[in-house]
Structure 1
Amino acid sequence: MLSQEVPFPRKAGQSSNDSVGPVLPPAMENVRSYTADEVVQMLNRTPLFMTTLDETDGEGGENIELAALRALAYDGTRAEIAGNFREQGNEQARIKRWKDAKEFYDKALAALKAPQQDDPEPGEDAVELDEEEEAKKEKVIEEASYVNRALCNLELRNYRSCNLDCAATLRLNISNVKAWYRSASACLALDRIPEAEDACNRGLEVDSENDSLRSLSTKIKMRKQSLENLELRRQAREARQRLEEATLAAALKRRGIRCRTTDKAPDAGDAIVKLADPVDADSTLFVPVVLLYSAHLHSDFIKAFDETQKLNDHLEYIFPLPWDEASEYTVAGVECYMETIAGGLIKAGKKLPLSKILVSGKVEIVDGLVKVHVLPKSRVAEWIEEYKLKRGKT
């Protein structure tokens, strides 16, 4: 059965043709003249319906209802006020709203440190507080607030704050198993294994059958073993690296090859001076070599030039050069030069093994690279003159 539309009671002077809406309860008749948005704003200033915090009455004054509720939250003894905040924190923690829960525990602890309100004037209904009993209640609430805030900090990954809250808890009650568990968990998260072990073991001394602590103890042992294995592998890598560096240094010294580094070393990636067998100084040496076509401002990079190879061995597969339109670069038509230790130039034989050139005592490996200038024979004299001028030599 369809319900009939019930019109608004008409106001004085309102005709039957005027638009009407649904009948409102008498208590809400005063909102008839407001728009929907204005009604929503009014509701948002009522604590029960608030979706955002509005501390005004809509006209620049104080929101009396909100102020009353706030005052009510701080009405009572310190234990009552702190207990109320703790319970609200517990409710937020149960639904895993850790940040909100932490804020309530903050308020609970702050309430316990606040000065006690003055006693009311004596009267028929006045009740004298038992200070000893109140102190016991406050201690229970303080311990619970600290250890629960530790849980919030643990879940929020505020591990240092978690440990501080656990320490505060244990100063109140050395046998608080939750504090030992949460402190051990925070230390484990930070890979502070000795501290995690200590906290877990001390918790087990209190409750040796605690399943959570026993499980955590297993995790700590596993992580400890994992970290020890990682450390052993790191030490082995470092020892291997030291051995390889010492072997390479011995190989270069044995061959009479000089090396030098500067503060402007280029980034050659993984191209380095190395031995075929990194721990055998007599194995073949490989050197990164840059071929500089200085007359045309081009270059080629040979990542691993075998010390037994000759320059011709590489020029044969590199030539012809794609940009050499005049065909000036041929194996027979070029000469190679290297800069000497003294800053001059030396002609590098194309048919000599690289080791023979490097052990001459006149050249060196600079920043892990050997540079070879490759020039067409027709341009050599001109280029040498330019080189001397740049070097300030005539």
Structure 2
Amino acid sequence: MAESDSKEAKKPMTDEERLALSQKLDRELDEFINSLEKKRYTEGWPEDKWEEEMDKHPFFMKTNPDGGEMSPLAEGLAKLKYDPEENTPVELAGNYKEDGNFNFKHKNYRLAIMGYTEGIKQRCNDAELNASLYNNRAASHWHLKNYRSALFDSEKALTFNPNHAKARLRAAKSALEVAKYDTCIEHCQKLLETSKDNEVQELLQTAKKKKLLQERDQRKRERGKQRAEEQKDSLIKTIIERGIKISKCEDEDDIDLSKLEPTLPGAQDSIVYVENGQLRWPVLILYPEYQITDFLKACPEEVSLTAQLEQVFPAPWDEDNKYRCASVNIYYEGYDKMPHIINPSKKLADLLTERYFELKAGTPAFFVVVRGSDIERKFLESYI
């Protein structure tokens, strides 16, 4: 009997048997996985500290974080990448550029600037690399809104590569931000020589409009300055014509606005001025009895001092109603350091030109006391 006849022929699996076997294998695999010990993976870098962990990695660290001796691996990697004895200036500049690019990509713009700066310091002879370093540093400054630095670096990049379109566009944008409109226009026009980019055309039109506004504002400032000078000259000329003596002025040429500015706190904006050919003065009224003052702004020189006091009296602090125009005497301290009584019905202009009157700090000052009172007597005795 033949051997093949002694063995039972192997029957092929049916579809039902094949499906049952597949399900059995799936169950056994699930049981195996579920039997494994479950633990959380802790070997990776935490998401919120990946940069800090990266700085500790031997491949990326530049110095030992503890300030001590670096591990042989870290020291070898640092030397491989940053040691000038192991790298050419071009290689070093390229390595620092990579550092800058890494930090720029992750929006660490200040660190990126440090990386690009170190690359620039290598002073390598690769013009394109230098242009890239300056352009990238300009981009970092731009994101930090350091527009003047961005403009400087962009234009520096163009000295190495005048055809660097990104650097020129950033130079134009930075110039616009710092109101250097002529510079912006120049860069835009240069860009439009090789491209009709809509962004550049819009930037050019914006710069031209802002330049016109800048020139208009400058003309306004110049006209305002000119008017101020004319008003100053008119004021000084009027005071000289009135014959008013000014303290600490040797002669007419020594008169300037600084000697006419009130020194009282908050009164600096009340300086004498000319209106319709008439001087309008700040006037200080002092009451020795109460050690208080009244400050009157813009008193016309053609009005009497009595008319000014009538606006002040009765005073809220004068409970006994002693201070009235008819019951007070008014004095000024002359350049002879003595008190001089005045006639308050006189115009202010006439009082300012009396023999002993001297204008101090641009503010006529008068002392008001009750006529015949002990206060008046003590006031006069204080000058003896």
TM-score (norm 1): 0.66
Question: Mapping of 1:15-164 within 5 angstroms?
Answer: 23-24=37-38, 50=50, 52-53=52-53, 55=56, 93=104, 97-103=108-114, 105-106=116-117, 113=124, 140-164=128-152
Q: Which residue number in structure 1 is paired with residue 313 of structure 2?
A: 319
Q: Which residue number in structure 2 is paired with residue 350 of structure 1?
A: 344
Question: Hey, what's the Cα distance between the residues in 2 that align with 1:111 and 1:364?
Answer: 70
**Does the C-alpha gap of structure 1 residues 363 and 139 become closer, same or farther in structure 2, counting only changes over 3 Å?**
closer
**Does the C-alpha gap of structure 1 residues 141 and 347 become closer, same or farther in structure 2, counting only changes over 3 Å?**
closer
Question: Hey, what's the Cα distance between the residues in 2 that align with 1:95 and 1:254?
Answer: 72
Deviations 1:20-74 (A, max 9, x none): xx9246xx9xx9xxxxxxx6xx755x99984534749999996788778868877
Q: Which residue number in structure 2 is paired with residue 244 of structure 1?
A: 231
**Does the C-alpha gap of structure 1 residues 171 and 334 become closer, same or farther in structure 2, counting only changes over 3 Å?**
closer
Contact 2:322/2:370, CA 8 A, preserved across alignment: yes
Same amino acid, percent of matched pairs: 25
Deviations 1:358-377 (A, max 9, x none): 23343133212111111111
Q: Return the offset for 1:254.
A: 3.1
Secondary structure in 1 matching 2:372? helix
**Does the C-alpha gap of structure 1 residues 93 and 302 become closer, same or farther in structure 2, counting only changes over 3 Å?**
same
1:204 aligns with 2:192: yes
253-262 vs 168-177, greater mean Cα deviation: 253-262
Q: Which residue number in structure 2 is paired with residue 274 of structure 1?
A: 273
1:184 aligns with 2:172: yes
Q: Return the offset for 1:297.
A: 1.5
Structure 2, unaligned stretches of length 5 or more? 1-31, 59-64, 248-258
2:157 partner letter:
T
1:339 aligns with 2:333: yes
Q: How many residues align?
A: 330
1:285 aligns with 2:279: yes
Q: Which residue number in structure 2 is paired with residue 265 of structure 1?
A: 263
Contact 1:90/1:101, CA 8 A, preserved across alignment: yes
Secondary structure in 2 matching 1:338? strand
Contact 1:89/1:104, CA 8 A, preserved across alignment: yes
304-313 vs 73-82, greater mean Cα deviation: 73-82
2:242 paired residue among 255, 277, 294? 255
Deviations 1:227-251 (A, max 9, x none): 2122111111111111112222233
Q: Which residue number in structure 1 is paired with residue 201 of structure 2?
A: 214
1:166 paired residue among 147, 150, 154? 154
1:383 paired residue among 374, 378, 381? 378
2:216 paired residue among 229, 233, 240? 229
Q: Return the offset for 1:259.
A: 3.1
Question: Hey, what's the Cα distance between the residues in 1 that align with 2:229 and 2:152?
Answer: 42
**Does the C-alpha gap of structure 1 residues 329 and 168 become closer, same or farther in structure 2, counting only changes over 3 Å?**
closer
Structure 1 stretches of at least 4 aligned residues deviating more than 4 Å after TM superposition: 46-49, 56-97, 103-113, 138-142
**Does the C-alpha gap of structure 1 residues 388 and 87 become closer, same or farther in structure 2, counting only changes over 3 Å?**
closer
